[in-house]
Structure 1
Amino acid sequence: MRRTATGLLVVMAGLFGLARWMEPAYPAWSFVRAFAEAAMVGGMADWFAVTALFRHPLGIPIPHTAIIPNNKDRIAETLARFLRENFLTPIIVSRRMQRIDVAGAVGRFLADPVPGGRLRKGAGRLLADALEALDPERLGTMVRGGLVAQLRRLEVAPLIGQALAAAMTDGRHRPIIDTMILWADRTLDANQVLIRESVAKRAGSLLRWTGLDERLANAILDALHKLLAEMAADPDHPVRAKSEEGMAELAHRLQHDPELRAKVEHAKEEILDNPAISLWWQGVWEQARAGLLRAARSPDTAVAGFIGDGLRQLGDTLQREPRLAHTINRFARRATVGITTGYGDQIVRVVSETVRRWDTETLTGRLEQTVGRDLQYIRINGTLVGGLVGLLIHTFDTLI
């Protein structure tokens, strides 16, 4: 584009020379001469203006030229301030994030990841390198410490109570009761001998002599088996209703009974302080780390197994459940706004300091590569517009 603009200026100079030579014999060439003369003026003026942005024209240190190199630091400050005031304010970021469906994008990616995608492979290599570079024991201790600290600050009793109440509202507690009934029936079968011995010990000598203790034990076992069978078959069985009342009361107490909440917190602290938990966590961490390394080294294999099925199911859920998507999007928006508020100044400082560290030639070259093509169009337009203006002035002067 620079050669084109310069070539057009040379053409206008040649056209001016030709018009001056032809004008004495053919007066109409005066219009061509006026056009070419004004075009040269316009082209030279715009060449000077464009060149003055980046360097001294012809190497002559004319005042107010080489504007960008001479004002590099001020440009860095202005650019950083522009980014801070127009892009990294909490209001602008929040408004922008409201239009971004983070949950939907993640859901679509998890539900249908691009086969062999560079993003997945690159992220896998980065994760594997990071895991291998860090000290496994120290990293595991850090992760465990972070989890334990979060658990100590978290009061679990109200959460358990809310989860139990929500499960009962949706009827998701019934499989738990069914499982308990099945467990009770199997436990009864496994301990028939113990029950018979207990009945025999408590029965009188007369009952044992007549053998009625055995019949009594059989009757007790049959009654219990029948009760459990009726409870399993009838969701509205009175005993099940009593169990549900007990669960509802437990859910309420977990949320509102200070004494029970204190007991749960005490039990939680004892569990967290138990040395066996540390040993258990170390084993879990080693298995998790090994699994993460395998998945990171072979992301295609990871997304093809049960992990992939789980991720795809999670992706479908993110797309189908508007409440979950709304929660995730709100969290992403708040997190982004928080990062902007807390680190916006550091971000723009990186921009300004990076521009300051650039040498003059680097800054000039990068800006010229970015906008240079459009600036050469300015030269071309200046040449043509200047020629047309000169032609218009000459025509007006001739007519008058």
Structure 2
Amino acid sequence: MNPVLPSPGLRAPVTRMRMLATGLLVAMAALFALARALDHVHPAWGFVRAFAEAAMVGGLADWFAVTALFRHPLGVPVPHTAIIPRNKDRIGDSLAVFLRTNFLVPSIVVRRMARLDVAAAIGRVLAAPPREGPRRASKLAVTLLESLGDERLGALFKSAAAQRLRALNIAPLAGQVLSAALAEGRHRPVVNGAILWVGQALAANEALFRQMIHDRAGSVLRWTGLDETLSSKILDGIFKLLGDMAEDPNHSLRTKIEEGLILFAERLQHDAELQAKVAAWRDAALANPAVAAWLDGLWQSARATMLRTARDPHAVGGGRLGEALRQFGTTLQEDARVRFAVNRFARRAIGGLVATYGDQIVTLVSDTIRRWDSATVTDRLENAVGRDLQYIRINGTLVGGLVGLLIHTVDLFA
């Protein structure tokens, strides 16, 4: 993966500064040679010589120090040079630890977010999005989604989803949903469907049931043919029972079924043993490869949707969705209660994310830097901070010259 670092377009200014620093060093060397040749002509040339000599020493020392950060000076593998490429992985680990210690701490994040009015900022953007905002946001979103890596982001998504599902106590929630459905009568279509399905299954397999009764009947019944009569009576009775249940919503057997469902809903909410069994079923289902494949498909679908939306920023800003977003932005700016709720949710959400996934984010940073190519990282880092580094060379040359001039003056007049 290529690092997301400053553009190579910064190379030209850095090259100019490097040429200026090197040219100044060469000029000091030429001035030293000239002053050395004319030293006998006039005592003033001694001052010039001292300045140029010390300037060369200072410039060379700073050139060596600056170069040693990124490569071996003149290609010679001097110890403790090429510091950045040799220690790229350690720098990545140190950066990750620095982020975890100083930024990805829930208390620090929540405290800093308390000073931010996130809701108002979001409201201003949604109510009156800047002209270039959608395009820039779209480009940034696409870059992030494509550069961070599908595999790692997908693993984070699936891990978070599975963790949330494991933390969810399904049994009481299912019991509450079932109780609400029973209270509102929403279970009746399900019971009707079950009765209809049983009737259809029995009709479709009538020959099988008759054969089962025939096989289990005694020899006397089979010899007299009463087994056929018995099977017809049994099947007719079952069909009649199912018909009565389908037609009569107050049928006694339907009442028994409803009583059983009510009892089951109560057990789901209050029976610890049943809740433990449901939790075990939940964990077994999450460990099933089919569920992992389903989560992967869910992530791929969500990622594809995000990419499609990000590549078409005007689709978000137009139509009913765009109008709804603008209205929500206005509400965020004008309604203090909504703004307070959104800010509180943002603080809690970000704090929870940091607490839960801080270590994984740190690992993502460290592993990403480890995958970067050393030469590319070195080149782009040098281009990013190169201007300041070349100023160090220039300052070292001039300061060294002034120090040499001062020493020569003190030595001359002491």
Q: What's the TM-score once normalised by structure 2's chain length?
A: 0.55
Q: Which residue of 2 aligns with 1:90?
A: 106
Structure 2: gaps spanning 5 or more residues: 1-16, 144-160, 193-304
Q: Which residue of 1 aligns with 2:123?
A: 107
Q: Distance in 1 between matches of 2:140 and 2:377?
A: 32
2:379 is the counterpart of 1:365: yes
Q: Distance in 1 between matches of 2:316 and 2:388?
A: 49
2:56 is the counterpart of 1:40: yes
Task: Give the length in aligned residue pairs.
Answer: 262
Which residue of 349, 361, 365 maps to 1:335? 349
Alignment deviations for residues 286-332 of structure 1 (CA, whole Å, 9 cap, x no partner):
xxxxxx99x96987577565554443332221111111101101101
Residues 24-35 of structure 1 aligned to structure 2 (within 5 Å) = 24-35=40-51
Tell me the amino acid that sits aligned with residue 368 of structure 1. Answer: E
Which residue of 33, 48, 66 maps to 1:50? 66
Q: Distance in 2 between matches of 1:125 and 1:349?
A: 22
Displacement of 1:38: 0.2
Residues 203-352 of structure 1 aligned to structure 2 (within 5 Å) = 264=180, 266-267=182-183, 270=186, 274=190, 307-352=321-366
Q: Distance in 2 between matches of 1:40 and 1:91?
A: 52
Structure 1's 368 and 303: CA in aligned 2 closer, same or farther, altered over 3 A? closer
Q: Matched residues, percent identical?
A: 58
Structure 1's 311 and 357: CA in aligned 2 closer, same or farther, altered over 3 A? closer
User: Please, what is the CA RMSD of the aligned residues?
Assistant: 3.9
Structure 1's 9 and 319: CA in aligned 2 closer, same or farther, altered over 3 A? same
Alignment deviations for residues 41-69 of structure 1 (CA, whole Å, 9 cap, x no partner):
00001111111111111111212112222
Alignment deviations for residues 153-212 of structure 1 (CA, whole Å, 9 cap, x no partner):
39999xxxxxxxxxxxxxxxxxxxxxxxxxxxxxxxxxxxxxxxxxxxxxxxxxxxxxxx
Q: Distance in 2 between matches of 1:358 and 1:309?
A: 43
| CA contact 2:125–2:329 (8 Å) conserved in 1 | yes
Q: Distance in 2 between matches of 1:273 and 1:6?
A: 86
Which residue of 364, 383, 388 maps to 2:402? 388
Tell me the amino acid that sits aligned with residue 315 of structure 1. Answer: G
Structure 1: gaps spanning 5 or more residues: 127-141, 158-261, 277-291
Paired residue secondary structure (2:42)? coil
Q: Distance in 1 between matches of 2:386 and 2:182?
A: 70
Tell me the amino acid that sits aligned with residue 327 of structure 1. Answer: A
Q: Which residue of 2 aligns with 1:153?
A: 173
Structure 1's 271 and 87: CA in aligned 2 closer, same or farther, altered over 3 A? farther
Mark the structure with the bigger radius of gyration: 1
| CA contact 2:55–2:402 (8 Å) conserved in 1 | yes
Displacement of 1:109: 2.3
Tell me the amino acid that sits aligned with residue 378 of structure 1. Answer: I
Paired residue secondary structure (1:26)? coil
Q: Distance in 2 between matches of 1:30 and 1:348?
A: 58
| CA contact 2:135–2:313 (8 Å) conserved in 1 | no
